[in-house]
Chain A
């Protein structure tokens, strides 16, 4: 996978602030990951808590470089909305996948891995592996 076709990352949270902060955190912790396309899709279009399929679709389109898009979510309607978009419609770019990962740790792992030019499967595996990291 060439460096100019990086996997895009979309971070979907019920809260615009959480999504934006986790994006900033992941890029910050990933060091040289400035080039990784990461887009937050948080809250509703009106700025409230919730999920917006339009914000998700716009975020996915904005990070799509042709190498696939990994979507990480927090919970509830965020998960269901992404799944519904993937199952039924044509709103998300081709090669978009929902990644089953913890939101913060998974985002960091995904961004770091994507920054190496890894493909979507490797990005997904790295994010999912974050579940196995025990804190106690």
Chain B
């Protein structure tokens, strides 16, 4: 079973990997975006860490709802409402249980990913976060390690795609050949899930 500590470890591992990878995320965002993805997520996950420490929510659902709310209010770019909605909707789907099993987390994450798709209007293949998140959720039945591999593979597979959503879509064919920053940070989020599970 996954308890509140697991979800705290997940958020902490995500924050730590955003600290490590912020420069790379911003570099990926330079040719096809506005070069702020790393710094935006850094601000967002620092706020998540601070809020979790201050408010000390006690259930998996409450932890993710609080984290999502922080991202929406502090990031300042499109990744704020997108990641915020992902975590908030996933948290709401977990309800107020003190512990959840992996199947419940998988179902809740699927609800979260669907909410992100509805919010941004993106589908798989549009060169967005969804290209990492969607295969990761599909692979979760086979474990966190499989989800991490699927997310990383999905992020790499955005390189040859032409962007169809967001600012990168204005570049048309010139967006081809670059790895999507959002899919890359989504792979970090899923890798942190495996890390929280000790994998």
Binds B, one of A5-13, A22-30, A76-84, A111-119: A76-84
In-complex Cβ contact of A76 among B72, B85, B119, B167 (8 A): B167
Is A136 an interface residue, CB under 8 A from the partner? no
Contacts of A87 in B (CB 8 A): 85, 115, 119
**Counting CB contacts under 8 A, is A62 at the interface?**
no
- A84: contacting residue among B36, B76, B81, B167, CB under 8 A: B81
Contact string against A for B residues 156-185, beta-carbon threshold 8 Å, 1 for contact and 0 otherwise? 000000000011000000000000000000
Number of chain B interface residues as a range: 20 to 34
Q: Is B78 a contact partner of A76 (Cβ separation < 8 A)? A: yes
Closest Cβ of chain B to A19, distance in Å, is 15
Contact of B80 among A81, A88, A89 (CB under 8 A): A81
Q: Which residues of chain B are within 8 angstroms of A89 by Cβ–Cβ distance?
A: 69, 72, 88
CA distance A61 to B80 in the complex (A): 21
Instruction: With both chains docked as a complex, state the minimum distance between the C-beta of A75 and any C-beta of chain B, in angstroms.
Output: 9
Stretch of A32-40, A51-59, A102-110, A121-129 that contacts chain B: A51-59
B119–A83 CB distance below 8 A: yes
Question: Is A48 in contact with B76, judged by CB distance below 8 angstroms?
Answer: yes
> A54 — nearest CB in chain B belongs to which residue?
B73
Q: Is the CB of B73 within 8 A of A77?
A: no
Q: Is B82 an interface residue (CB 8 A)?
A: yes
Q: Report the tally of A-B residue pairs with Cβ distances under 8 A.
A: 58
Nearest residue, chain A, Cβ from B65: A88
A51 touches B88 (CB 8 A): no
**Contact status of A85 and B76, CB under 8 A, knowing A76-B166, A77-B81:** no
Task: Tell me whether chain A's interface is mostly helix, strand or loop, or mixed.
Answer: helix
A80 touches B82 (CB 8 A): yes
**Identity of the chain A residue whose Cβ is nearest the Cβ of B34 in the assembled complex:** A49
B21 to chain A minimum Cβ distance, whole angstroms, is 21
Whether A85 lies near B72 (C-beta < 8 A) is yes
In the assembled complex, the CB of B34 is this many whole angstroms from the nearest CB of chain A, namely: 8
A88 contacts which of B36, B88, B166 (Cβ < 8 Å)? B88
CA distance A77 to B166 in the complex (A): 9
Taken residue by residue from 40 to 68, chain A's Cβ proximity to chain B (1 for < 8 Å, 0 otherwise) reads as: 00001000101111100000000000000
Complex CA distance for A53 and B80, rounded to whole angstroms: 10
Q: Which of B68, B76, B88 has the most CB of A within 10 A?
A: B76
Chain A residues near B78 (CB-CB < 8 A): 76-77, 80
Does B148 make an interface contact (CB < 8 A)? Answer: no
Partner of A77 from B69, B77, B89 at Cβ < 8 Å: B77
B95 interface residue, CB < 8 Å from A? Answer: no
* Pair A50/B76 contact, Cβ less than 8 Å: yes
**A-B contact sample (9 more), CB < 8 A, given A53-B80, A80-B80, A88-B85:** A44-B76, A50-B36, A50-B77, A53-B72, A54-B73, A77-B77, A80-B119, A84-B82, A89-B69
Identify 19 residue pairs between A and B in the complex whose beta-carbon atoms are under 8 Å apart, listed by A's number: A50-B36, A50-B77, A51-B76, A53-B73, A53-B80, A53-B81, A76-B78, A76-B167, A77-B81, A80-B80, A80-B81, A80-B119, A81-B72, A81-B81, A84-B84, A85-B81, A87-B119, A88-B88, A89-B88
